[in-house]
Amino acid sequence: MKPSNEKKKIRVLVADDHEIVRHGVKNLIESEEDFEVVAEATTGRDAVVFCEKKKPDLAVLDLGMPGLNGMEATRQIRKICPETKILIFTMHETERLVQEVFQAGAQGYVLKSDAGKHLIHAMRTVLLGQHFFSSKVTEVIFEGFLRSASNEPAPAVGEDALRPTSREREIIQLLAEGKSNKEVATILGISVKTAETHRATMMRKLALHNLSDVVRYAIRNHIIEA
């Protein structure tokens, strides 16, 4: 048998809860001869599972997925599949969100409105080990730089201590999506008592007094979409 001269394709996972968007992204990616989509996910939790099974070269993740958003999925994928590059694909462009995405371990940030122009280039850039963000995001970052260079007050001492942990962010998202303590425990694979403890600790730390406060916090911090 003659050895195959076919070049190995770049393996990609696509995660987006909107079927039309997901299929559109898949078609755009597979229009490139050297790319293939090896898995599709509709939730961040499925994206994590598929990454662990498929070990893709690149994961393209929507930010606003149910159950586990793209930010938390990024953090978990970085832990279990450190070789997989991650590109966030979203409609949001706030400075804080851009900062948090890169802190979570993503290498690229592309707005959905720029997909046709920038997605493939962004994927190739990220695969080369470089960071990528589209022009609109660059403007957001630059505006943030100008503000930080002014005399605006620095964050309060101890502010970082009030940020929720990764597990607490998961719980915030599930509660904001209407899940009960029992459902949270089942999804996360923990006991109901542990789920209740995490919930109480998180609400006390963030000064959230009821479920409505949790939902507002989740929306304000882009953990869920309004």
Same domain, 124 and 180: no
For residue 3, is it within any domain?
no
- Which of 73-77, 108-112, 148-152, 213-217 has the largest mean confidence? 73-77
Do 97 and 206 lie in a common domain? Answer: no
The residue type found at 224 is: I
168-202 pLDDT, tens digit each: 989 999 999 899 999 999 999 999 999 999 899 99
Check which CATH number belongs to the domain holding 50 and give it. Answer: 3.40.50.2300
Tokens read off for 77? 């994928």
How far is Cα 208 from Cα 204, in angstroms, rounded to an integer?
A: 6
Q: Is residue 196 part of a domain?
A: yes
Domain count for the chain, please give it.
2
Confidence of residue 158 (pLDDT cuts 50, 70, 90): very low
Report the CATH number at residue 168.
Answer: 1.10.10.10
State pLDDT tens for residues 72-97. 999 999 999 999 999 998 887 677 78
154, 158, 162, 165: CA torsion to nearest 10: 100
124 with 179, same domain?
no
At residue 92, the pLDDT reads: 76
Based on the fold, state whether residues 206 and 123 are members of the same structural domain. no
